[in-house]
Amino acid sequence: MPHKFNDARRDKFPKAKYRVSNCPEYNESLRRRGDVTIWVSDDVVQKWRSPRRKTRGGQSRYSDLAIEICLTLRVVFRLPLRQTQGFVRSLAKLMGMALVVPDFSTLSRRGKGLKLPQNRRAASKPTTLIVDSTGLKVHGGNDWHEEKHGTKKARKTWRKLHIAFDPETGDIAATELTTEHVGDVTALPALLTDMDADVSRFLADGAYDVQGVADCLIEKFGHGVEIIIPPPTTAVHGKNAQRNHHIDVIAQNGRMSWQTKTGYNQRSRVEAQIGRWKQAIGDRLQARDFDNQIAEVKMASKALNRMTGLGRAVYERVV
């Protein structure tokens, strides 16, 4: 909104400049992201094999941890399943570990429905939650071939990734993957299902401006949660007192003043997180099966949170 509001006179004032104040620490954290020992724990040998089950049925050869490590390395380094098997096998050999690596078919089969708890850091105080969504490609024709050689346009499939971002810790608090036909409001209850943090403020764009979102947030976090969602220009008063107050403030002081007072401009941080996802992980899902795609997204969010834990850039404005 600020960029659109000032677009006609953007050349009249200089753009704000920032610099990273902790360059040595941040550079080292970026190097450590490529260190394979970050992604493989020291006790991996003891936990590699699955514990024997005491109920009827076949015995699993590999533990969930072994499958998670292999698939996480696949997501981080963008490897096909067969190359993932070879990569982990060579890594175990170089590290002197006597491990039998799961084959590619086992990785694909065990990836479906794999339970992955989110490894987000606990906030020191009631936190702010920022929610947004984006699209991830699945498969489709090559745009260059379509334009250069006039090939028939292929039907492309994509998924919708919903992200809940914690700006205090910089972690992805929750993710939800849906088909392209599921709206943001419909996916919100499932996105917040595993959230156990104390949320005091909720920020989202105008697509979430419906009464069902407010009811869902109050049921999940209590009546004390502050809901900051911009109402449309044609909005009228309803039964939501917070929304009515936002409408009155915007009508009296203007939308830009309302954004500054409520801190709505912080919502851009989740868009930056989406850009970080597509740069570090990619804008395309590798798996074809929907259940495997869900597991892939969970592993990607855990990997990004682990990267954040290694170190974050600290910015300061240049005067």
Asked if residue 52 has pLDDT above 80, the reply is no
Q: Which amino acid is at 265?
A: N
pTM of the model: 0.86
pLDDT at 4: 63
pLDDT at 56: 74
- The average pLDDT across 195-206 equals 91
Supply the mean pLDDT for the chain. 88
pLDDT at 252: 94
Does an H or E element contain 162, and which? strand 157-166
Report which of residues 172 and 150 the model is more confident about. Answer: 172
pLDDT at 6: 66
Residue written as tokens 């006039």? 150
Q: Which class is 127-301 in CATH?
A: alpha beta
Q: 29-43, 62-76, 264-278: lowest mean pLDDT where? A: 29-43
3-state secondary structure 14-65: CCCEEEECCHHHHHHHHHHCCCHHHHCCCCCCCCCECCCCCCCCCCCCECHH
For 238-287, the pLDDT digits (tens) are 989 999 999 999 999 999 899 999 999 999 999 999 999 999 999 999 99
- The average pLDDT across 159-185 equals 94
Does an H or E element contain 137, and which? strand 127-139
| Packing angle, helices 255-262 and 241-253, rounded to 10 | 130
pLDDT at 144: 64
For 124-168, the pLDDT digits (tens) are 688 999 999 999 998 755 666 666 666 666 666 889 999 999 999
Report which of residues 119 and 72 the model is more confident about. Answer: 72
pLDDT at 141: 56
- The average pLDDT across 300-314 equals 93
pLDDT at 2: 55
- The average pLDDT across 189-207 equals 91
The residue extents of the domains of the chain are 43-111, 127-301
Q: How confident is the model at residue 115 (pLDDT cuts 50, 70, 90)?
A: confident
Residues paired with residue 72 on neighbouring β-strands, in sequence order: none
